[in-house]
Structure 1
Amino acid sequence: MPFAASNDARIYWKLEGTDDKPALVLLNSIGTDLGLWDAAMPALLTAFRVLRLDTRGHGASDAPGGDYSLALLADDVAAVMDTAGIPQAAIAGVSLGGMIAMELALSRPERVSALALICTSATMDKAAWQDRITKVRTGGTAAIADLAMQRFLSPAFSAGQPAITESVRRNLVAMNSEGYAGAGAAIRDMELIDRIPSLTCPTLVIVGERDASTPFAGHGENLLAAMPGATLERLDCGHLAPLEAPATLAGALRAFLSPGPDTQDAAEALFEAGLKNRRRVLGDDWVDRSLANRTPFNADFQAMITRIAWQEIWSRPGLDDRTRRLLVLAITASLGRWEEFRLHVRAGLTRGGFTRDDLKEVLMQTAIYAGVPAGNSAFAEAAAVMKEIEAAG
């Protein structure tokens, strides 16, 4: 594992992408690790060489006891950039990551070509953060998990993506309490708002319309007031934008940091992201066969449905995968689209997407609302698929 030595701590980092692309450093929020950015990476790697790191006290990085400061955390980022051989980069940070990014740009302006400040602030409630630090140091991160989750994710995302939500909570509860408390002290003690007017690098301020932690009012608006030359971007998401709106966030970063006509690159990024979803839902074997059967006549159509259906629709946060799968079954049965129906029955049953009982209930509902003939055909088609699955294995 790659580590950088910084002020008596080892900082874990990960560098991805080709050397011919401009460097982009991604910083995570308090209570998360570099995996926060995983869903956005396919769309970012087509345009950038991406350096991620676990903030001191988080993930695989060391978690020394005591209070941390933004200056200390900015030193860590500079040390990682040195170790990775990156003299200058654009810096994008979420929440605490955005605060560290501002500190780095203030203390080492030559290292920062541009800033993207995502769901962050230059002023936070000191008393509230002191209370949180005290609770963590006495009761661990589990003591503040409920509060943190309410401020991390929007209610709609939490309801629609329970697996992701539980993973975020599990990682928060499992993290080093001293690390969380130390990083919390850096937020409590930050002094940025009076200093950031001196920043001269291009700056993008991204706010989440459903962000309960650092909303536009009182946070994003203060950043813009202090930096009149900054650009504002609003996303339909909660506090952890890389989780709730990865493709939209990546598009905003690409548009700001790499302006110009890169429509083809953007299309390729969306295709790759959609292909990842398609493989997750339908399986590699089916997707590989579909790709192998592309022809000059249908290739553009295949690319379009991968970008739109599998990226734009299947990546939306409002519904989980199980619900989407069952909706597809009901709709394709109602319309008599049996090839597509059989495909999704097979994929769902063989990939743990739903149970046979789930399938039966959907088809019962379909028979009432789409007609008994449609339900009858759907039961027959589903039975044939289940027989084939049993025969195969």
Structure 2
Amino acid sequence: MALTLRLPDADGRLAPYTLSGATPMQPKPGARFDRIAYSAAHVVADPLAAIDPWLQCAVDWDATLAYRRHLWSLGLGVAEAMDTAQRGMGLDWPTSLELIRRSIDASRDVPGAFLASGCGTDHLDLAEVRSVDDVIRGYETQMAAIEALGGKLIVMASRALARVATSPADYERVYDRVLSQAKQPVVLHWLGDMFDPALAGYWGTTDVDAAMDTALGIIAAHPHKVDGIKISLLDKDKEIAMRRRLPAGVRMYTGDDFNYAELIAGDGAGTEPTHGKSDALLGIFDAIAPAASAALAALAQGDTARFHEILTPTVPLSRHIFRAPTRFYKTGVVFMAWLNGHQPHFTMVGGQQSTRSLPHLAELFRLADAAHLLTDPELAVRRMRALLATHGVEG
């Protein structure tokens, strides 16, 4: 039986939409990959908490951890307390540390689960940050807290550092201190200003090539302390150029939510295995986890055609979710989790569910259907109709 509802288009006009009827994506359990693949994971808000949601955060811990177990069951790793979890956009440092603690504990019960956690300086009051030394102390505070839990670090880009640094040398000084103290190899994190405008000019310049030189110099000075670097610039050519210049054994973790399929598949260039392909640390993997798992399993078996067959339909969805203003992509990620039954409500930390329009979400629904990512189409339609009703639309 066909499922049809009325959805608004970009101009706000309502038109019938009938779901494709395609079989939802069902990846095989126990999948094995030949790429390291982290999904940055969202948090589930607690809608019943009596808080001011723009000023405080409350997390539904059971639903949040259940989603991490879902990702692990698909063979994906979890990149915890990152920007996908609304770090810096509603999720504060104390709650982030509690999230990291709970996720590390949960991972110990899942054979083969892997996890890395965001370490930053977001507990600092930017108005009170005066020097690079303040930034170093900020990183050290979070490093010590996460490593005390046994966590692996993802060293996140710092708004505080972008604010006080006056030259690339300031970045070199900070990262030298951080890397020299890390207990195990870390993942560095270069987040473009399309994701966070406060990070404009990171690495001490707005010239991307010059910034890349600085970042590569820092990695070259500490190659055994760097597992890899995640870059989120939405520029595949820049990522490939940097990937080919990384020291032997240092991985490129693509954060390119526009071109991930091509970058993960790779081009085989270079004599070092890590120079010819990207591993992954992606926010979109939260929203397309079943497809990501199935595609990576196919790639590991040498079936590149099947890999692209699965992932290609997800790219329009991802580009829509991450369209400008890109920093609001978290709303689309949580919307997908709600449509697919991973949480009972479409409410977000910080009230961020309001950052995207109804026409935007309606197009997301259509693209998710086209990519075979609505795991229970009847549930998805019921929930989409409920959302339409709250906007005064009879779907």
TM-score (structure 1 length as normaliser): 0.36
Higher relative contact order (CA 8 A, sep 6+): 2
Larger radius of gyration: 1
